[in-house]
Amino acid sequence: MTIAEFQRRIEAIYYEKDSARGRAGTFMWFAEEVGELARAIRRGERRATEEEFADVLAWLATLASIEKVELEQAVGKYAEGCPKCKRTPCQCPEA
């Protein structure tokens, strides 16, 4: 499944509910899922970590749709490597 296909799938499943909730409410759900991902990683719970990654990605996709952002185009920012130094791997000095 491509990024665009995933975004369309999440739209088909959740867009009506998520757009009715609005940007702020949907962002709060996204933030909560990021917290759940952090907890699963910290606890070393492999299965929960995989599930939370999927949930975070789904909430990110629905936020992008609400904001009329195509994720497949947005990730083009990294097509040439690091957006700053244009290298892969990144050669930027640590800040």
Establish if 85 belongs to a structural domain: no
Residue 28 has pLDDT above 90, yes or no: yes
Establish if 87 belongs to a structural domain: no
3-class state of residue 5 by DSSP: helix
Q: What pLDDT was estimated at residue 9?
A: 98
> Number of structural domains, the chain?
1
Model confidence pLDDT, tens digit, residues 34-44 = 999 999 999 99
Q: Which domain holds residue 17?
A: 3-78
CB-count burial class (<10 Å; 0-12, 13-18, 19+) for 58: buried
Q: What pLDDT was estimated at residue 58?
A: 98
Establish if 47 belongs to a structural domain: yes
State mean pLDDT over 45-72: 98
> Model-level pTM greater than 0.85?
yes
